[in-house]
């Protein structure tokens, strides 16, 4: 229990959303409040005019989307906050799913104009599975969007979560006047383009106070009084246990681009969001307050700084204290490793740290020892669970355009697929390289990065496969026979595990029913 003070100071969370809901903008406002940056990058109409702090890859700047999870650490009101910004684009969902394994809570951003979108539904399914606490921020209230109560109803129905409004908006679009904070009993007036701490806030304990009429007009004041009465009657006080168990989500309304409504949410987050929580492993649950260090790798990023060919593995500390220059056990490789320059992050900027505690995310310089899901600890034989690789849905053969760059291509493919943006398969009995991804955009990113970072020019040729399944069997002979007969559809993943590439759902179902002794797996976590 000797690190309990450090643990209680930490809050680690992810911001998730559909693309364009304003997630990167919200991230920047958080950093602004934490004093981590002085000016926000403006992300407008999908063209980044002033580069957003958390979008550091060239292709992200060009397209105005986040395709890699960034980690940022800042202090606010005596707490150390680790914020993980995730890709909104559906093609990078797998990176987001893995990031959700490294956080203790989530802020979900919803666009008040578009409401709930497909990607949001999928993300919420993963969050619900893990019972992760969620705070909802309904963004873009200064634009003409859906009615506030219709939006709440839609979110509850579509995302299957109970909501609890913490602020109530006064109008929307060009008539948006601000929000009433139900917890603080205060009126927060809206002014476009406010700087951090620039909101006009006034305490109004009694809504019948005539000052309300003078501030927002009699008509809007009456609507607000009715809204507050309705919300108080239906929801009452927020039940913290329901929030912490992932059953109820507090809701805030605001406009991230105008820095409005963000502080109210951040203050509530500090008050109610969980500190580091216990983690499941293959043998037992690991508690954050244990004396011995343990942690896992949830992300790898090559060439964070293109000038230095660096490769950083992101480690979530789960228990004990991580210390610089200390030997720790790499469970999968069964060897001791130590790190002379562990980093903390503000997006691109890296600061060397001496120690880290549960909840912290540490960047480790990696020479190729790490894979996603690797566990580090002080000698116990266990793996942290729940960090899967999903079956890809689109497959392309990588054709090398320049035979002189074969070595660079091999290295680039290995490093980029180690990051988890895609999976690499080698056709059985040959050396045809196949990349499997969840979405088309990932192929663009890989092609671009192979050329920019490794000098390898490639062509991607579409392959007629529908799914990749990892194969296991208690009868090795049955598996060998299957591999022999189905050679055209068999590949190995980069760890040497056998994979069946099915042409269609019909073929897959046929092989599953014809081969009862072989198990077909849709995630690769079975090999841990």
- Domains of the chain, by residue range, sit at 4-177+237-272, 279-377, 394-527
Task: Indicate the CATH number of 394-527 among 3.40.50.300, 3.30.70.3280, 3.40.1280.10, 3.30.360.10.
Answer: 3.30.70.3280
Q: 4-177+237-272 adopts what CATH topology?
A: Rossmann fold (3.40.50)
Residue 66 — pLDDT band, cuts 50, 70, 90? very low
Least confident of 2-6, 428-432, 447-451: 428-432
Closest CA to 273 of 468, 82, 510: 82
Look at residue 48 in the predicted model and tell me its pLDDT: 31
Q: Residue range 104-113: average pLDDT?
A: 92
Could you check whether 279-377 and 394-527 share the same CATH topology?
no
pTM for this predicted structure: 0.77
Tell me how crowded residue 353 is: count the other CB atoms within 10 A of its CB.
18
Residue with the two structure tokens 């680039």 = 412
Residue 167 — pLDDT band, cuts 50, 70, 90? very high
pLDDT tens for each residue of 188-238: 888 766 554 555 667 777 777 788 887 888 888 888 889 888 888 888 888
Classify 77 as helix, strand or coil: coil
Check if the beta carbon of residue 442 is closer than 8 Å to that of residue 421: yes
Distance CA 156, CA 153 (A): 5
CB < 8 Å & 24+ apart, contacts of 351-355: 352/324, 353/324, 354/323, 354/324, 355/321, 355/322, 355/323, 355/324
| CATH number assigned to the domain covering 279-377 | 3.40.50.300
């Amino acid at each position: 229990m000797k690190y309990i003070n450090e643990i209680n100071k930490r809050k680690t969370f992810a911001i998730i959303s559909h693309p364009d809901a304003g997630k990167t903008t919200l991230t920047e406002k958080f950093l602004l409040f934490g004093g981590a940056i002085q000016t926000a990058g403006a992300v407008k109409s999908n063209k980044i005019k002033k580069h957003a702090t958390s979008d550091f890859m060239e292709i992200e700047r060009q397209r105005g989307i986040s395709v890699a999870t960034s980690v940022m650490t800042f202090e606010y009101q005596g707490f150390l906050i680790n914020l993980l910004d995730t890709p909104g684009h559906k093609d990078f969902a797998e990176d987001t799913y893995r990031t959700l394994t490294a956080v203790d809570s989530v802020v979900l951003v919803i666009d008040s104009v578009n409401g709930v979108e497909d990607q949001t539904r999928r993300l919420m399914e993963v969050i619900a599975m893990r019972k992760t606490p969620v705070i909802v921020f309904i963004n873009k209230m200064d634009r003409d969007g859906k009615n506030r109560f219709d939006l709440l109803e839609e979110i509850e129905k579509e995302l299957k979560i109970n909501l609890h409004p913490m602020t109530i908006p006064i109008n929307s679009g060009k008539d948006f006047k601000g929000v009433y904070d139900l917890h603080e009993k205060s009126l927060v007036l809206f002014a476009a383009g406010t700087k951090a701490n620039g909101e006009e806030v006034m305490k109004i304990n009694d809504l019948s106070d005539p000052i309300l009429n003078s501030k927002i007009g009699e008509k809007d004041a009456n609507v607000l009084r009715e809204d507050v009465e309705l919300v108080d009657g239906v929801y009452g006080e927020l039940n913290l246990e329901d929030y912490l168990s992932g059953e109820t989500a507090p809701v805030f309304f605001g406009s991230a681009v105008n820095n409005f409504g963000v502080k109210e949410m951040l203050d509530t987050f500090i008050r109610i969001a969980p500190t580091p929580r216990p983690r499941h492993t293959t043998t037992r649950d690991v508690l954050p307050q244990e004396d011995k260090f343990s942690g896992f790798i949830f992300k790898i990023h090559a060439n964070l700084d293109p000038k230095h060919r660096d490769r950083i593995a992101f480690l979530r500390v789960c228990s004990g204290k991580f210390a610089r220059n200390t030997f720790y056990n790499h469970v999968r490789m069964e060897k001791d490793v130590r790190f002379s320059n562990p980093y903390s992050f503000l997006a691109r900027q890296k600061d060397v740290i001496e120690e880290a505690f549960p909840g912290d995310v540490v960047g480790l310089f990696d020479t190729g020892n790490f894979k996603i899901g690797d566990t580090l600890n002080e000698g116990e034989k266990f793996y942290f669970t729940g960090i899967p690789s999903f079956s890809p849905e689109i497959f392309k053969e990588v054709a090398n355009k320049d035979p002189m760059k074969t070595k660079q291509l091999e290295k680039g493919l290995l490093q980029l697929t180690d990051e988890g943006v895609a999976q690499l398969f080698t056709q059985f009995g040959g050396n045809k390289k196949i990349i499997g991804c969840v979405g088309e955009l990932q192929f663009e990113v890989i092609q671009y990065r192979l050329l920019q970072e490794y000098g390898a020019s490639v062509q991607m040729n579409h392959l007629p496969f529908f799914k990749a399944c990892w194969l296991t069997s208690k009868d090795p002979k049955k598996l060998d026979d299957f591999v022999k007969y189905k050679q055209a559809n068999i590949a190995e993943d980069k760890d040497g595990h056998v994979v069946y590439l099915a042409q269609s759902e019909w073929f897959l179902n046929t092989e599953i029913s014809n081969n009862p002794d072989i198990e077909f797996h849709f995630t690769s976590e079975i090999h841990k």
